[in-house]
Amino acid sequence: AIAIWPAPPVIPPGGWPAHITDKPQSDFRSYQFSVLPNGMQVLNIHDPKSLKVAFAMAVRAGSYDNPVELPGLAHFCEH
């Protein structure tokens, strides 16, 4: 899991990524934070020592958000 600092950085006008510099001095990774036009918050972490690329996503939705006519939709979208 990725922990985001208590308050996301302020996004510059135009919505381009904001570089996050508030981190431990021993952390060699670079961080960018942005908000997409649909409101989704994105945290990009660049690790120059990494040999692989990964993607993770967290969605605040679940079975209580299923439409009545589509039970199980949240579980289906999980996979």
Alpha-carbon distance values, 42 to 5, 31, 60, 75 (Å):
13, 10, 14, 23
More confident residue, 64 or 14: 64
pLDDT at 4: 52
Percent of the chain with pLDDT over 70: 78
Which tens digit of pLDDT belongs to each residue from 29-62?
Answer: 998 888 877 777 888 889 999 999 888 777 777 8
Cβ neighbours around 31 below 10 Å, total:
20
**Active site (catalytic) residues:** 78
